[in-house]
Amino acid sequence: MIRPRRNRKSPAVRALVRETTLSVSDFIYPLFVHDKELDEPIDSMPGCTRWSVNGLVKEAGEAYSLGIQAVVLFPAIAESIKTPDAKECANDDGLVPRTIRALKEAYPELCVITDVALDPYNSDGHDGIVRKNGEALEILNDKTVETLCQQALCHAKAGADMVSPSDMMDGRVEAIRETLDLNDYDQVSIMAYTAKYASAFYGPFRGALESEPKSGDKKTYQMDPANSREAIRETLLDEEEGADIIMVKPAGPYLDIISEVRNTTTLPVAAYQVSGEYLMIKAACKDGWLDEKAIILESLTGIKRAGAGIILTYFAKQAAQWLAE
């Protein structure tokens, strides 16, 4: 008789036949920063913090000592600095460049990744520059890409190791690559949000940054959750445009996309376990309804098993602690 259970009979045998292993080096830790002295808990994401620059450096240091080698920065920008052209995004003395410099000074080996998109800086709350025709909004693709290039260059100048365009404008990976290369930043990598869906799972994140669109939605640039062939199309394009890493976002509800993208490209594949996924797990575990440690590690293992070798997760630090036990 064929007995598959023999391969499950003991911890040692299970460890031998295990196909997927989570490792602390898989994680990218997303961190929020604001231009205030105090660290502030984020109401919409219990357990997460909007850090001061100093607080963020300390948190990144703790993560680094647990083996987390990469962080990605998300700024909360004061409403008074936001403009329709989002020009603060390329200010060399802005919050993000200052944070990059502080991080690189404290932890030169840490891989510092930045988000490239206009929504934190744009008074319209969109990832691109908005043209209004009465009630109708148009998100201007090529004009936005020009600004994204300036933003990416500003991050590179401040010392970012990697820039990560999350805006979903067409042609931005190629344009950013060209801008970086022309300015002698050919070693700055691009992690592209390749298949980023117009997802309701981003709600708590927008609460964290107060970056909710003032009107309209993001469906003319982010992908329709119903589509998977389109993710292949975006993957082939980003590969051709020079992306170093391809990302799928969200992660948990899009495991099929991760798997298809994994089978399409030879590039490394990342997946972003987003704020709504984080919040659902936090909420379900708050009163002990689910076992937090088991659920978090299982959700991350599932994302890795689907094909993501890199996982952006708000649980990075906690998971790193558990993996070290």
Query: Which residues of the chain form contacts with ligand PBG (CB under 6 A)?
Result: 115, 117, 119, 127, 166, 202, 205-206, 218, 274-275
Instruction: Return the number of the residue (114 or 166) whose C-beta is nearest ligand PBG.
Output: 166
Tell the smallest beta-carbon distance from residue 17 to ligand PBG (Å).
Answer: 34
Catalytic residue flag (residue 282)? no
In whole angstroms, give the CA distance from residue 312 to residue 272: 5
In whole angstroms, give the CA distance from residue 153 to residue 205: 25
Instruction: Return the number of the residue (97 or 276) whose C-beta is nearest ligand PBG.
Output: 276
Helix orientation angle between 275-286 and 292-306, rounded to the nearest 10 degrees: 150
Tell the smallest beta-carbon distance from residue 166 to ligand PBG (Å).
Answer: 4
Tell the smallest beta-carbon distance from residue 294 to ligand PBG (Å).
Answer: 22
Tell the smallest beta-carbon distance from residue 10 to ligand PBG (Å).
Answer: 39
For β-strands 40-41 and 136-140, DSSP reports them as unpaired
Residue of 124, 137, 199 whose CA lies nearest to 166:
199
Write down the catalytic residue from 9, 36, 58, 196: 196
In whole angstroms, give the CA distance from residue 224 to residue 247: 16
H or E stretch at 294: helix 292-306
In whole angstroms, give the CA distance from residue 16 to residue 313: 27
Instruction: Return the number of the residue (65 or 247) whose C-beta is nearest ligand PBG.
Output: 247
Catalytic residue flag (residue 249)? yes
Instruction: Return the number of the residue (64 or 121) whose C-beta is nearest ligand PBG.
Output: 121
In whole angstroms, give the CA distance from residue 194 to residue 222: 10
Write down the catalytic residue from 82, 218, 249, 317: 249
In whole angstroms, give the CA distance from residue 198 to residue 250: 9
Tell the smallest beta-carbon distance from residue 152 to ligand PBG (Å).
Answer: 13
Instruction: Return the number of the residue (181 or 212) whose C-beta is nearest ligand PBG.
Output: 212
The type of residue at 313 is T
What is the set of active-site residues? 196, 249
